[in-house]
């Protein structure tokens, strides 16, 4: 694009801050900041002329390059080197040096998300070692993680292992007997990293979960900023995630589902980067090759990074396979829409080509990452009883394909002897794992149906004690101490409304942002409806919590209103949005004792049990 041509205007529909930044290819200038919304576009119909009598202004349609790649709201290359002082701060009597204020504005896209992540990190690391116990499934994953780092595979622990690990004079009864496990190892490798750094204790095995929880807050703030083209809304998304109860509890417990959430969110972020990068490439190509008829859209490093993250998701829990399918489809639709917008006559054919190429590359990359995660198991001994569970299964065994598949007798069997023993053993091991997951129907006190998840029908109690008067922390006649895996109720219930809003935006307004949010949420939520007879829990929902938060953030942006709305409209909208955020934060603080296992009077505990299904 020629230097004198504007590269973009921050005309985001939601969450604008009042000043619009216009830049050139040589970078923005002080004159690039204008104090008012751009002029309205031409009135195109009698209906719009009628609405104009009541103050309606039809939006101006941006040029093609800007449609392909809307500008970011701030940052180097966008924010001018000198920014006028803020009238709001001046009204409060706050005057900052011009150079400092300009620097803060230029780097607000990082400073805001980092501040929100710091807030969430302090919450998560505060008193992380309490309760000082192996809570819920930590009894499996903390010990499996230790075994992976010390032997390369999971082992069978003696019955008194928990007591010895938590004893004041700790002794760790490590041995080499292999154990049958049903989840891949990446999440446990990460848990074990904290144990290597800080020891085999509650703080050690929860450390990496708190790290990933904090980093996910930073990620969603940056993702929200890129998705909505608003630093303000990005920080709102980070703030809301930092005060979600389920995300908070899972960030302080050594379970696998937060790891699934982290890699899934990272994959989504890389796909967003790939979308912007690819559309920027198309915009540049249109300068010299109008029409958009190109076979290749260039090197896709961010899409490969997304595939790596999806592989790590699958290598934590198999539910990542649904993320692979959903994000492949999302990327394919984005590519096709970019070609169509660029004016390609054969956009559908080329879109199918892009999708086919992605279907070849993404699963291959993800599968390679998945296999690499089993390195410790591969390197263990194939001598019976001396390596990982099932490592010796294919040794001296005929390499024939299965006689039955899903209960159906195959017409013939294929000689598979050419496949290495280790891979055949791993395949058989996975077949038994799949059988376990699909037939897991053992009743559990805290199991729940996915229909109830969005309204928090049945949370999971990770830890519970009933201290008596005089015991540490108990000053009432009877007290309670619990870690309850439940989302912040007001946030989740607002999320239900926000999802309806996103459905409206996607179906009737063709808003790609709403479609992206719904895609991520559907991939983490809808597959569980196929397993309603299986023993499943609410905390599985942490995988789609970031997308629920993004939906609420998008609704908040709509409440604030577009940048060209009237002052009264913006004030009323911002007030409503602020009250919603404050209500969510209050709700988090109200349930904070149940998230952290604080000792509280029994009456206070009962007051927080809003529904009998929460007990």
CB under 8 Å to 465, separation ≥6 — which residues?
480, 481, 482
Q: How many residues does the chain have?
A: 615
Phi-psi map region of 93: left, alpha, beta (phi>0 left; psi -120 to 50 alpha): left
Residue 2 has pLDDT above 50, yes or no: no
pLDDT digits 0-9 by tens, 233-243: 999 999 999 99
Q: CA–CA separation, 69 vs 64, rounded Å?
A: 9
Q: Which two tokens stand for residue 597?
A: 């296992």
pLDDT digits 0-9 by tens, 159-175: 999 999 999 999 999 99
Residue 207 has pLDDT above 90, yes or no: yes
pLDDT digits 0-9 by tens, 412-468: 666 667 778 889 889 889 888 988 888 788 888 999 999 999 999 999 999 999 999
Strands across the sheet containing 479-485:
460-465, 479-485, 599-601
CB under 8 Å to 110, separation ≥6 — which residues?
none
Residue 5 has pLDDT above 80, yes or no: no
Pairing, β 599-601 against β 479-485: antiparallel
Q: CA–CA separation, 434 vs 318, rounded Å?
A: 9
The percent helix, strand, coil of the chain (3-state, each to 5) is: 55, 5, 40
Q: CA–CA separation, 547 vs 545, rounded Å?
A: 5
20, 166, 186, 252, 455 from 134: Cα distances, Å: 53, 8, 20, 12, 28
Closest CA to 573 of 253, 202, 232: 232
Cβ–Cβ under 8 Å, residues 67 and 84: no
CB under 8 Å to 599, separation ≥6 — which residues?
467, 471, 472, 473, 474, 479, 480, 481
Q: CA–CA separation, 29 vs 32, rounded Å?
A: 5
Mean pLDDT of 305-323: 96
Residue 379 has pLDDT above 90, yes or no: yes
Residue 29 has pLDDT above 90, yes or no: no
């Amino acid at each position: 694009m020629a230097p004198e041509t504007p590269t973009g205007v921050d005309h985001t529909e939601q969450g604008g801050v009042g000043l619009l930044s216009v830049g050139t290819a040589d970078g923005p200038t002080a004159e690039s900041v204008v104090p008012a919304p751009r002029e309205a576009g031409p009135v195109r119909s009698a209906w719009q002329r009628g609405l104009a009598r009541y103050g309606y202004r039809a939006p101006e349609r941006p040029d093609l390059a800007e449609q392909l790649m809307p500008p970011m709201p701030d940052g180097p290359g966008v924010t001018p080197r000198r920014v006028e002082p803020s009238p709001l701060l001046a009204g409060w009597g706050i005057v900052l040096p011009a150079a400092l204020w300009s620097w803060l504005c230029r780097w607000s896209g990082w400073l805001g998300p980092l501040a929100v992540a710091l807030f969430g990190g302090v919450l998560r690391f505060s008193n992380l070692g309490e309760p000082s116990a192996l809570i819920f499934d930590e009894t499996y994953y903390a010990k499996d993680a230790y075994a992976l780092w010390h032997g390369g595979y999971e082992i069978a622990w003696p019955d008194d292992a928990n007591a010895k690990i938590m004893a004041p004079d700790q002794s760790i009864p490590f041995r080499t007997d292999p154990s049958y496990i049903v989840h891949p190892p990446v999440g446990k490798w990460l848990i074990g990293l904290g144990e290597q750094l800080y020891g085999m204790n509650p703080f050690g095995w929860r450390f990496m979960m708190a790290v990933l929880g904090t980093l996910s807050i930073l990620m969603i703030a940056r993702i929200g900023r890129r998705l909505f083209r608003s630093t303000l809304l990005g920080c709102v998304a980070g703030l809301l995630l930092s005060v979600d109860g389920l995300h908070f509890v899972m960030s302080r417990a050594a379970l696998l589902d937060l790891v699934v959430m982290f890699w899934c969110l990272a994959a989504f972020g890389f796909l967003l980067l790939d979308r912007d990068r690819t559309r920027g490439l198309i915009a540049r190509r249109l300068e010299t090759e109008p029409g958009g008829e190109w076979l290749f859209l260039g090197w896709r490093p961010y899409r490969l990074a997304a595939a790596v993250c999806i592989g790590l998701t699958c290598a934590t829990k198999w539910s990542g396979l649904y993320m692979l399918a959903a994000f492949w489809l999302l990327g394919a639709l984005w590519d096709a829409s970019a070609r169509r917008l660029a004016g390609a006559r054969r956009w559908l054919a080329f879109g199918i080509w892009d999708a086919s190429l992605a279907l070849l590359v993404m699963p291959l990359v993800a599968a390679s990452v998945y296999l690499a995660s089993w390195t410790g198991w591969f390197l263990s001994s194939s001598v019976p009883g001396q390596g990982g569970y099932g490592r010796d299964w294919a040794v001296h065994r005929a390499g024939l394909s299965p006689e039955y598949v899903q209960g159906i007798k195959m017409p013939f069997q294929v000689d598979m002897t050419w496949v290495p023993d280790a891979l055949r053993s791993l395949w058989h091991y996975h077949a038994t794992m799949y059988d376990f997951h699909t037939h897991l129907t053992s009743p559990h006190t805290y199991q729940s149906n996915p229909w109830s998840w969005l309204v928090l029908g049945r949370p999971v109690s990770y830890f519970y004690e009933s201290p008596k008067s005089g015991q540490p922390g108990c000053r009432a006649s009877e007290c309670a101490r619990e870690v309850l895996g439940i989302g912040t109720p007001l946030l989740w219930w607002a999320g239900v409304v926000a999802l309806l809003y996103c459905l409206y935006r996607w179906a009737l307004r063709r808003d790609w942002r709403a479609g992206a949010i719904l895609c991520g949420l559907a991939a983490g939520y809808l597959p569980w409806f196929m397993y309603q007879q299986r023993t499943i829990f609410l905390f599985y929902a942490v995988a789609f919590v970031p997308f629920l938060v993004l939906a609420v953030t998008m609704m908040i942006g709509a409440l604030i209103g577009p940048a060209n709305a009237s002052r009264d409209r913006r004030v009323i909208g911002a007030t409503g949005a602020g009250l919603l955020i404050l209500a969510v934060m209050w709700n988090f603080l109200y349930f904070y004792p149940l998230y952290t296992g604080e000792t509280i009077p029994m009456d206070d505990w009962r007051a927080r049990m809003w529904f009998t299904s929460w007990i």
